[in-house]
Amino acid sequence: MRALRRVFREMGRTQRTARRQTGQAPSPVVRDAARAFREAPSLSALVLVAASLDEVGLLSW
């Protein structure tokens, strides 16, 4: 569980940095996925966060 939270926090830091650099507004899709992960942390919820970040172009592979 700690590893999932660590990855979640790292994705959050990365996407906030990317948004600051690009001036992009926060995405409701990402916000909803993050909220779902915080409420019920699981691998599948973390995958949804990653997918939402990828969808808005904020996930670097």
Residue 54 confidence (pLDDT): 92
Q: The pTM is what?
A: 0.87
Residue 8 confidence (pLDDT): 96
Task: Report CA-CA distances (Å) from 16 to 1, 12, 19, 40.
Answer: 23, 6, 5, 22
Cα-Cα end-to-end distance for the chain: 23
> Tens place of pLDDT for every residue, the chain, 61 residues?
899 999 999 999 999 998 899 898 889 999 999 999 999 999 999 999 999 999 988 877 6
